[in-house]
Structure 1
Amino acid sequence: MPRLTDARKELRRTQITDAAVRCFSRNGLERTSIADITAESGLSTGSIYAHYRNKADLVRAAAREMLHRRADTIGEYAAADVPPDPDELLSRLTAAIDPVQARVGVQTWSEATTDPAVHDIVVDATDRMRAMLHDCVTAWLVKVEHHEPDPARERATPIAHRIMALYQAELLYTALRTPHEETAP
């Protein structure tokens, strides 16, 4: 049997985690089985286990990937020549919320209360996001509002905290909406 290249392994892992996220969104973390993920991915059970030791390992990988994608988006905003103001930043973040990922994200937060590994992933990603929000707000204060860097960093702290809290509230709201409400105008 031919060996998988590193790029092919990464594609396969992404295929598996994407299938797992869809299953977790539909069925919940607890009610999703490896058989469900196998069927959703179109791969064999052996292929799943070749990449992940167990469902818990897959939950951690899916959580890590989803949380890091959000953090990466915020980093792009902060690096822009003209960073968005806080209202626009929050608007962009909430507009980009995917209902499937929001449901899994909220379930992951719950899982973080009992699984130390998931807890560490969620705390790390949340801290990274808050730091990137802080950097983005600081960049806006310096580049657009023309504040000096040190006072801008200080002023950005409570603003970034509020943006993070409102974003997380919107994630929760999106996760709690029924499928009917998601399609309503």
Structure 2
Amino acid sequence: MPRLTDARKELRRAQITEAAVRCFSRNGLERTSIADITAESGLSTGSIYAHYRNKAELVQASAHAVLAKRAEALGEYAGSDTPPDPDELLARLMAGIDPVEARVGVQTWGEATNNPAIHGIVVDTIDRMRAMVHDSVTAWLVKTEHLESAEAQERATPIAHRVQSLYLAELLYTALQSPAQETAP
């Protein structure tokens, strides 16, 4: 049997993670089994376990995959010649919310209240997101308000906190919408 290349392994991991996100969204974290993810991905159980030891690793991979999408966008915002102001940053983040991912995110938060492994994933993800929002707001303050880096970083802290809080509130609101409401005008 041919060995998988690193690129092929990453594609396979992404395929599994995407299937897990769909299953978690549809069935919930607790009610989703590895068999469900196997069926959704079209891969064998052995293939799933070759890439992930357990469901907790899949939850972690799912959280990191969603965060990677936000990180890419936030990196572009912070690195641009004219980073978005906090209101525009929030609008862009909110526009990027996927209802399926939002449902998985909220379920993960709930699971974090009684599962130490998931708790660590959630805290890490939120902390990393906060740091990226902070970097983007800092870049805006430096480039458009012409503040020195140290002052910009200090002033960015409460602004980034508010931006992230509002984003998380919108994520929760989106997660609570029924699929019929998602497509309504």
Q: TM-score normalized by structure 1?
A: 0.94
- Which residue does 1:153 correspond to in 2? 153
User: Which ranges in structure 2 are unaligned for 5 or more consecutive residues?
Assistant: none
- Which residue does 1:135 correspond to in 2? 135
Q: Greater shift after overlay, 20-29 or 144-153?
A: 144-153
Q: Identical aligned pairs, as a percentage?
A: 77
DSSP 3-state at the match of 1:125: helix
User: Which ranges in structure 1 are unaligned for 5 or more consecutive residues?
Assistant: none
Q: Deviations over 1:73-132 (max 9, x none)?
A: 222211111100000000000001000000001111112222222222222221121112
Alignment coverage as a number of residue pairs: 185
- Which residue does 1:54 correspond to in 2? 54
Amino acid at match of 1:107: Q
- Which residue does 1:73 correspond to in 2? 73
- Which residue does 1:95 correspond to in 2? 95
Alpha-carbon deviation of 1:144? 0.9
Amino acid at match of 2:7: A
Alpha-carbon deviation of 1:5? 1.1
Does residue 41 (structure 1) correspond to residue 61 (structure 2)? The answer is no
Does residue 15 (structure 1) correspond to residue 15 (structure 2)? The answer is yes
Q: Greater shift after overlay, 96-105 or 117-126?
A: 117-126
- Which residue does 1:126 correspond to in 2? 126
DSSP 3-state at the match of 2:32: coil
- Which residue does 1:171 correspond to in 2? 171
Alpha-carbon deviation of 1:68? 3.3
- Which residue does 1:24 correspond to in 2? 24
* C-alpha contact 2:63 2:125 (8 A) present in aligned 1: no
Structure 1 runs of 4+ aligned residues shifted over 6 Å read none
* C-alpha contact 1:74 1:129 (8 A) present in aligned 2: no
- Whole-Å separation in 2 of the counterparts to 1:178 and 1:110: 18
Q: Mark the CA change 1:23 to 1:128 in structure 2 (over 3 Å): closer, same or farther.
A: same
Amino acid at match of 1:106: V
Map 1:103-122 to 2 at 5 A.
103-122=103-122
* C-alpha contact 1:112 1:122 (8 A) present in aligned 2: yes
Amino acid at match of 1:105: G
